[in-house]
Amino acid sequence: MKDFRKLKVWEKAHHFTLQIYKITKIFPSDERFGLTFQLRRAAVSIPTNIAEGCGRDSQRELARFMSIAAGSASEVEYQLLLACDLHYIQDETYRELHQLINELKKMLNSFIKKLTAKS
């Protein structure tokens, strides 16, 4: 069992999620149960799956939860693009968040490769 709080990827995912909550506060109120909810849910899923994987008994299970987190990161990546295209966020905000989500995806993929190489 690992302490997820000690993982740089979890820390980065947690801070990213906090940013998502902050930016979605300005989304139109009619999106509260639409894109706002979906984007927040997908963002929360990233650090949540990292934490859950750390609570599992094997490297294989940890890798599986890291993979789920990476899938959620891809989901967030698209939802940010949609939010930008709908003009809910500015281009500069989109670029910053896009860069962060891609860094997270790279970190997750690297971690997955290390975990599966040991199997």
Cα separation, 73 vs 67, in Å, equals 10
Alpha helices (H) along 25-90: 35-54, 59-85
Which architecture characterizes domain 4-114 according to CATH? Answer: Up-down Bundle (1.20)
Percent of the chain beyond pLDDT 70? Answer: 98
> Given a cut of 90, is residue 78 above it in pLDDT?
yes
Mean pLDDT of the chain: 96
**pLDDT tens digits for 20-42?**
999 999 999 999 999 999 999 99
**Domain ranges for the chain:** 4-114
Q: Residues 6 or more apart from 60 whose CB is under 8 A from it? A: 115, 116, 119
Task: Check: pTM over 0.85? Answer yes or no.
Answer: yes
**pLDDT surpassing 70 at residue 119:** no
- Residues 55-68 have pLDDT tens digits of 998 999 999 999 99
Count the residues in the chain.
Answer: 119
pLDDT range class, residue 2, cuts 50, 70, 90: confident
